[in-house]
Amino acid sequence: MNQRYSGDVIVALDFKNLEESLAFLAPFSGHDQLYVKVGMELYLQNGPQVLSALKERGHRIFLDLKLHDIPNTVYGASKGLAQFKVDMLNFHAAGGKEMLEAAKQGLLDGGSPETLAIAVTQLTSTSQEQMQAEQLISVDLVTSVRHYAQLTKEAGLDGVVASVHEAPHIREVCGQDFAIVTPGIRLVGGPSQDQKRIATPEVARQLGSSHIVVGRPITLASDPVAVYDGICQSFLK
């Protein structure tokens, strides 16, 4: 598997501001290039300074904005965000192939071809029953996710966001050089919270995830560094 698509534990910085984020990261000073996720809450309330501060400290960044709009708007947003040279940026696959192609082109035209462009298939907080009742999608959840993954690959993007449980099906249709970024990671015996399709780091490794995103199991732990190290040992071994 291409190195760009394998072996990363991403820590979700689910905090309100930069100060809280940096305070949380301080004990990780001995870890080189920690991969972190900046989501809507942190980015929209604090702006690009968050990205600059994290980059200055050597962290890799997954900018989790889940962009979803008409192709021209997504192209402009993607091109504008390219200036920050984040390591990963995501979009909603439901926006369609034309939108996804525009998203990728925006990164290229903005001068950041190295940024992994990935698409959200079905949120890990969505159950099959919800998807069918609220989105009026009649197929089963695995079929929906696999379809979105194929669409994403055809559009020229680098991978998808999906739960661990769909990872083997995505690998079947999209191959090895394709990122499968999986949230909904929980530890044995830990609470599932608002996530529906969850799995442990070890199961994620076994089923073919290339990256896992872990938030509350680390950020709410009494010893976040120890929990992070344990997750890395389980997922990266």
Domains identified in the chain and CATH numbers: 3-236 (3.20.20.70)
Q: How far apart are CA 61 and CA 38, in angstroms?
A: 7
- Please measure the distance between the N-terminal and C-terminal CA atoms of the chain and give it in whole angstroms: 15
Residue 2: predicted pLDDT:
57
CA angle 164, 13, 45 (to 5 degrees): 125
Residue 172: predicted pLDDT:
95
pLDDT digits (tens, 9 = 90+) for 167-208: 999 999 999 999 999 998 988 765 555 555 678 999 999 999
Contacts of 133 by beta carbon, 8 Å cutoff, 6+ apart: none
Residue 191: predicted pLDDT:
52
Residues across the chain:
237
Q: How far apart are CA 132 and CA 129, in angstroms?
A: 5
Residue 198: predicted pLDDT:
72
- The residues that are catalytic are 66
Residue 13: predicted pLDDT:
97
Q: Which residues pair with 185 in a beta bridge?
A: 199
Positions in the chain short of pLDDT 50: none
Half-sphere CA count of 115, side-chain side, radius 13 A:
30
Residue 124: predicted pLDDT:
80
Q: How far apart are CA 237 and CA 228, in angstroms?
A: 14
Q: How far apart are CA 125 and CA 193, in angstroms?
A: 10
